[in-house]
Amino acid sequence: MFRTHTCGELRISDVNKQVKLSGWVQRSRKMGGMTFVDLRDRYGITQLVFNEEIDAELCERANKLGREYVIQIVGTVNERFSKNGNIPTGDIEIIVSELNILNSAITPPFTIEDNTDGGDDIRMKYRYLDLRRNAVRSNLELRHKMTIEVRSYLDKLGFLEVETPVLIGSTPEGARDFVVPSRMNPGQFYALPQSPQTLKQLLMVSGFDRYFQIAKCFRDEDLRADRQPEFTQIDCEMSFVEQEDVIVTFEGMAKHLFKVIRNIELTEPFPRMPWSEAMKLYGSDKPDIRFGMEFVELMDILKGHGFSVFDNAAYIGGICAEGAASYTRKQLDALTEFVKKPQIGAKGMVYARIEADGTVKSSVDKFYTQEVLQQLKEAFGAKPGDLILILSGDDAMKTRKQLCELRLEMGNQLGLRDKNTFACLWVVDFPLFEWSEEEGRLMAMHHPFTSPKPEDIHLLDTDPAAVRANAYDMVINGVEVGGGSIRIHDSQLQNKMFELLGFTPERAQEQFGFLMNAFKFGAPPHGGLAYGLDRWVSLFAGLDSIRDCIAFPKNNSGRDVMLDAPAALDPSQLEELNLIVDIKE
């Protein structure tokens, strides 16, 4: 019997050992009377050698191997004459004595290599082949390592992992639910959980004072790079805590993950920024603070000089891009077109260069004296060689968000968003409510169970829009990797919250009566946080999309092109479910 080895474990110390290897054919090449085959498995690549002079029949069989054939070989480890320093097994090769073809394979639709020739669509269709690539597999290995570390870390702090149901009732507040018809209850539907929010609160009522779950969550929302219809949360809740307790606990987890996953030691407390400051300086509740370029408001300087765009604006603000005064007119025009994209929506952009002699050259020079332009320079603390970019609009919040997109684009162009540099931040003191034009009412910015800041509770009756939430988000490199809040645990306050959100007492009881009734039996103060596992993995792996760290993701249309889902149901299934499909035109 020969010991079975993996393709990545053999080294020069194993020379002369007889071994058995199994895996997939990465590539083969014939050179004279020799055939060389690269055998690949999850652990690496090993070169196999077939020698025509030693065994012509075996060599002939090897010559017929195609890419991705599944084979098993027996052979002897030999020191490699031409070493390959790019792989761990590059010092050795296997002189094959036995070859067993376990399965043949048709030619794959793209190359199973790190630098593949397959586009996104074709790789998603054949995801099981894409997962054979080192670049994708390593993301799932990283994900596995992170979940092990999370479980270990929370276990040591006394957290219990508890599974919660996937079939629950619908909670319309927030994103749209995915719904599941019930065959046994005709005309009624389950919903897939957007998060285990109310369930983990019930666990706190049950006395499970420290809960966590690596939970599947589902939201029927428009997709982008950091969203999928189904995603995974590291979901946590704690009893008898205040905001500081939760922040300290999960900042500790973040530092632990940085240390064990990326070998980065973070010793300083993460900075904390009020939501109002984040919006004022960065136009975002998840600002990327790896670089500066904070907003400067310019109403006092630029308004009232005859330039109607600014004179009629409700907000004028800008950023200073250090050292970018060398931008050409073509580059500036491209930036203008960038901010005018429909998804950003600005009407235009004004720029001002700081020349070598300190004078300011602007695209609106005819409206402003050099004296006013010098005030502009001083407002930014700009130096010769810097470039000031200005946006304006009739809605301050909307314009800040446009300026945020411009700032991030400049950060990209100037190389200020290095994926190996990490800037962590807590954003705190969010508004409790936000106004929905579509609904024509106040909506919960997070969810209806978020507690107001204790010092703001008195404003619920007089100025609810001014009430701050006892909530907190962790932001890393401009990505919200997690967030949470202290929850309402008092029935009376929860009823007040439902009232402000437009719920009738009957509707509140119908949808959330189970939680309200539970509170009457003695609910402890509690709060928690949910980290996005997919976002953490993509952050540590340096990925642009969470799709690449999910085994079987959906595309940007929410489709699984491999399984061809979603799909129409067979009429017999619809009949069983008492459903009739009537698609609106």
> Binding site membership: which residues?
173, 219-221, 228, 446, 480, 487, 532-535
C-beta separation of 311 from 392 below 8 A = no
Binding residues for ATP: 219-221, 228, 480, 532-535
Comparing CA positions, the residue from 229, 146, 246, 260 lying closest to residue 530 is: 246
Q: Report CA dihedral (252, 255, 256, 257) to the nearest 10 degrees.
A: 130
Please provide the size of the chain in residues. 585
Q: How far apart are CA 295 and CA 319, in angstroms?
A: 5
In which residue are the tokens 């009377």 written? Answer: 33
What single string gives the DSSP state of each residue in 17-51?
-EEEEEEEEEEEEEETTEEEEEEEETTEEEEEEEE
Burial class (CB within 10 angstroms; exposed 0-12, middle 13-18, buried 19+) of 95: middle
Map tokens 């300087």 to a residue: 301
Look at residues 337, 387, 346, 395 and name the one whose alpha carbon lies nearest to residue 363: 387
Measure the CA–CA gap between 6 and 22, rounded to whole angstroms.
7
Helices of type H across 177-263: 197-205, 243-262
Cα separation, 392 vs 315, whole angstroms:
6
Binding-site residues for L-aspartate, please? 173, 219, 446, 487
| Long-range pairs for 224-229: beta carbons < 8 A, 24 or more residues apart | 224/556, 225/544, 225/545, 225/546, 225/547, 226/479, 226/532, 226/534, 226/535, 226/538, 226/545, 226/546, 227/546, 228/534, 228/546, 228/547, 228/550, 228/553, 228/554, 229/178, 229/554, 229/558
Angstrom distance (rounded) from CA 332 to CA 351: 8
Give 517's strand partners: none
